[in-house]
Chains A and B, each alone.
Chain A
Amino acid sequence: DVVMTQSPLSLPVTLGQPASISCRSSQSLVYSDGNTYLNWFQQRPGQSPRRLIYKVSNRDSGVPDRFSGSGSGTDFTLKISRVEAEDVGVYYCMQGTQWPITFGQGTRLEIK
Chain B
Amino acid sequence: EVQLLESGGGLVKPGGSLRLSCAASGFTFSNYAMSWVRQAPGKGLEWVSTISGSGGSTYYADSVKGRFTISRDNSKNTLSLQMNSLRAEDTAVYYCAKGCGSTCYSDYDFWGQGTLVTVSS
Contact = CB atoms under 8 A, between A and B. Distances in A.
Contacts of B59: 99-100
Given A96-B105, A101-B105, A49 B45 contact: yes
Interface string B102-118: 00011111111110000
Contacts, number: 58
Contact of B112 (A31, A48, A90): A48
Contacts of B62: 100
Interface string A93-112: 01011011111111000000
A97 B104 CA distance: 11
A93 to B, nearest CB: 10
B26 interface: no
Contact of A48 (B46, B106, B107, B113): B113
B47 A48 contact: no
Contacts of A55: 107
Interface of A: 31, 35, 37, 39, 41, 48-51, 54-55, 60, 90, 92, 94, 96-97, 99-106
Which A-B residue pairs are the 3 nearest by beta carbons?
A: A96-B106, A37-B106, A101-B47
